[in-house]
Amino acid sequence: MTNARTEGSRAVPSTRGVVYMHCCPSALAPHVEWALAGVLGRPARLQWAGQPVAPTHLRAEATWTGSVGTAARLAASLRAWPMLVFEITEDGTSISDGERLAYLPGRGFHRATTSANGDVVVGEERLRGLMNRARSADDFQHGLTELLGTSWDAELEPYRAGGDGAPVTLLHQVV
């Protein structure tokens, strides 16, 4: 957690996270930077590299700092391009849990609460709902894999491996 900022009459802690742009057509790279800049309030210049899993596409990673909820706003800003593959993380603060938002074409968004070490955390209410809906052990297992985002992780893993050793850009939100 970083410093707090004032929003109205209350202090809102700042947080940080990472944008993992796993797969982006090269023609869209400037548009992605503009979308991120629109949320962060300052230019976003990413260090793009080739994505080995999709040779005609690019990948980039950028750390960001901003207010709680910035990860969701960043993800929403990228919705206009359903061909992108990305993940955005946000660290927890004194008033919020961490989260990870993942997007894959054809699968859509998966949003999960995360612990301090990045593990997905499934809340009590979601588990109780699953227990009430599941009619068999197989139903429960399938529901649990959905809650954990297992299918998203399996599809994202080749893209993640393509980023090992890639440069990381630092982005900060104007407050």
pLDDT at residue 117 in the model: 87
* Burial class (CB within 10 angstroms; exposed 0-12, middle 13-18, buried 19+) of 157: exposed
pLDDT at residue 135 in the model: 95
How far apart, in Å, are the Cα atoms of 98 and each of 82, 117, 121, 152?
25, 10, 9, 18
pLDDT at residue 2 in the model: 44
pLDDT at residue 3 in the model: 55
pLDDT at residue 162 in the model: 73
Angle at 88 between CA 63 and CA 22, to 5 degrees: 90
pLDDT tens digit at each of 175 positions of the chain: 345 555 566 667 799 999 999 999 999 999 999 999 999 998 999 999 999 999 899 999 999 999 999 999 999 999 999 999 999 999 999 889 999 999 999 999 999 999 988 899 999 999 999 999 999 999 999 999 999 999 999 999 999 987 565 555 555 555 4
pLDDT at residue 170 in the model: 56
pTM of the model: 0.85
* Structure tokens given for 157: 């893993």
98 closest CA partner among 75, 120, 114: 114
Question: What is d(CA 148, CA 85) in angstroms, rounded to the nearest whole number?
Answer: 18
* Structure tokens given for 65: 């700092």
